[in-house]
Amino acid sequence: MSILGSAIPLPSTVELAWLAGFIDGEGTFGLHVNAKRRTIQPRLTVPNSNRRSIERVEVLLRALIGRELTISTCKGKSRTGFRPYFVVSLSKHADLEIVVRALYPYVVGKQRHVDVLLEYLKIAPTSRRNTKTITKLYGRPSAFTTVGYDDRHYEFVAQMRHLNRRYKRGQWDEANVEPEPELQRISDRPGAPFIGDSDAALKELFKRRIG
């Protein structure tokens, strides 16, 4: 079963490691600010020009979150014309929480992105439409949905933007960017912590399947 009760079997640890590696190389974690609506939307986007690879990504994500995802087709941008590419994405808090925790032991290049996203999700306001799912997953009271955004949320936005920044020639040295911290070996890396006081049976299912 998926984490939230779907009948689709969960991926194996080998499949999770493959998915983490693919997202490490092709995916993007982001915290996007909608100034007009005054909201922050967390997002995982995975693009690739090989449709079979994206279909595989969608199958594994579907197995984790228990619902089918849309694969979008996009046109490449260039005067001569790039080949089209395909995109699958997640933005619901519960979906991201499940996927990130499942991939946490295997992520390498985007480990800091994942840490920032997890910390953001601990304090992120959620839609009233998702109250039941969020309460089951996080153990939060429904009143938490009424909390707005503050400086803590925007600090995580700034951290994620820093991690995703693309530097022009010479800017990297000028910015004096700190070197990446030494990465833990997978055997030493802890599993992602559960957020809030979630249902004990949910925790045990998750531990058995990916622990």
Angle at alpha carbon of residue 8, lines to 7 and 9, rounded to 5°: 110
pLDDT band at 193 (very low <50, low <70, confident <90, very high): very low
8 Å CB contact between 57 and 15: no
Beta carbons of 59 and 68 less than 8 angstroms apart: no
From 28, 89, 17, select the one nearest 58 (Cα to Cα). 89
**What pLDDT, in 10s, does the model give residues 120-176?**
988 888 655 555 655 555 555 544 454 688 999 999 999 999 898 876 766 556 555
Sorted by where each begins, the domain ranges of the chain are 13-164+188-205
pLDDT of 93 > 50? The answer is: yes
The residues with which 40 forms a beta bridge, in sequence order, are: 33
Round to the nearest angstrom and report the end-to-end CA distance of the chain. 15
Secondary structure letter of residue 70 according to DSSP: P
- On whether the CB atoms of residues 211 and 191 are closer than 8 A, the answer is yes
CATH number for the domain running over 13-164+188-205: 3.10.28.10
Cβ within 8 Å of residue 180, ≥6 positions away: 112
Contact 192, 122 (CB under 8 A): no
72-91 pLDDT, tens digit per residue, is 998 866 555 678 889 999 99
